[in-house]
Amino acid sequence: MDGFQAYGAGKAGGAFDPVTFVRQPQTVARILSWLFSIVILGCVANEGYVNRPEEVEEFCIFNRNQSACSFAITMATLAFLCSAALLALDVYFPQISGVKDRKRAVMVDIVVSAVWSLLWFVGFCFLANQWQASEPEDNPLNEGADAARAAIVFSFFSIFTWGALALLALERLKRVSFEEEYNKLFSPPLA
């Protein structure tokens, strides 16, 4: 039974190995999701608003729709915070000793990652639609166009990184289900 790990973690209380941690596919995907949210936030917050000399207020580069910029900034900020929290949970995960607590952590990871994948799909569709509907007359100098395209592209990439995180967490859950069944069949009965 030494080869099995409860929900993808070794025995609780072991020393943290940063090299092993960073090489895990889940960690790589989580860091990519975190970086993508930073890029989206930076693009929209920095160059997502344009002003014209004859207007007093700035307007959103996505079809003059303030909701599009607000949505992108909110999503990127929340995704950044969520990625950081789940990355901290991944660091803490091997220290969790109870199998039920580990199962809860994996279930939270599955649900949160799947929801974020869906939210980024909606965000990608919304931003791409608003960018396509933008009028060239609103931004004759094409200011912020590269930033808008980058936000759209990285929101598209975020769909797949969060989806991969959900699949990796689901795979971790399947491994443990097999381990629990194995323990039930082959563990000695208590006297």
Give the chain's mean pLDDT: 86
Q: Is residue 33 part of a domain?
A: yes
Q: Is residue 78 part of a domain?
A: yes
The answer on pLDDT for 108 being more than 70 is yes
SS3 97: coil
Enclosing domain of residue 38: 20-183
14 secondary structure, DSSP code: P
Task: Count up the domains in the chain and report the number.
Answer: 1
The owner of tokens 């791409």 is 128
Mean pLDDT value across residues 65-77: 95
SS3 63: coil
pLDDT band at 131 (very low <50, low <70, confident <90, very high): very high
| Nearest to 75, CA basis, from 126, 31, 111 | 126
Q: Is residue 48 part of a domain?
A: yes
CA distance 35 to 108: 21
Q: Is residue 191 part of a domain?
A: no
- Does this model's pTM top 0.75? yes
